[in-house]
Amino acid sequence: MSMEWFNRVTSELQDHLNSICEEYDQIGQMTIDQSAKHPRVEFFVETEGNERDYFCTLLFDPHNEEFYVETFDYEFEQPARIILADIEDVIDAVHDSFHDFINGDSDMFVAVDEVEDDDDEIDNEADYLLEADDGEEYYVGEILEDDDETIFKEVEIEWETPEVTAFQIEDEVEVTYQFGVVSATGNGVLQRVNRYWSEDNEFYKEESTLSFTKEEASTIIAMIASNMDKMSSYEDL
């Protein structure tokens, strides 16, 4: 069994999707889970209330080294797989699923350059999260008030990786990380998102961001690597 093909595709997938689809670039996100027997890549948009609407799940069979999506064969009345032989097939499958999803909920999403100076439309725009900027709230267009003029704050981070799942217990906790580079300064940004559910099944989301220079990166990596044996795992707590 090999994960080489999985790692190669997932490392390039976000950039390919962003480049071929402006709408996906604005609101589409992905997360990677390698802990499952068949690793998966899930695609979603974030809406009001920090909830995720998933529109596509890619699965990877490490034994056969192939991507697939699950479907249902109504003729034979049983689950079926659609094998995605190369990265172009993978991109097409995700892209088609995204637009099927958007077309079904087209009134939910408004591109930044389509928003007019109308209070109702602006309020609706501010409800939909996009990606991180500086550790605060993150939106497709974040609304700022400046001398009674409404302006949209441009996102300044170029995300170099998708949101990667570092730890997960289903319906309890999920911790993800994402690495990006600040366009204006070239500094690195590591965003941590902790999603968890209370005993009352209430959903919570905590975000934190670490910004650092290239010179600091090697020191951070070395400090973590040399002290990992002193740390406790989640099961030990």
At 4-26, the pLDDT tens digits run 888 889 888 888 888 888 888 88
At 132, the pLDDT band (50, 70, 90 cuts) reads very low
- Over residues 208-221, the mean pLDDT reads 86
The pLDDT value given to residue 237: 57
- pTM for this structure? 0.46
CA distances from 10 to 14, 83, 103, 161, 202 (A): 7, 16, 26, 9, 31
Does the pLDDT of residue 113 top 60, yes or no? no
**How many CB atoms within 10 Å of residue 81?**
14
- Over residues 112-134, the mean pLDDT reads 39
CA distances from 204 to 32, 49, 147, 174 (A): 20, 9, 34, 11
Per-chain mean pLDDT for the chain: 75
Does the pLDDT of residue 127 top 50, yes or no? no
- Over residues 136-155, the mean pLDDT reads 38
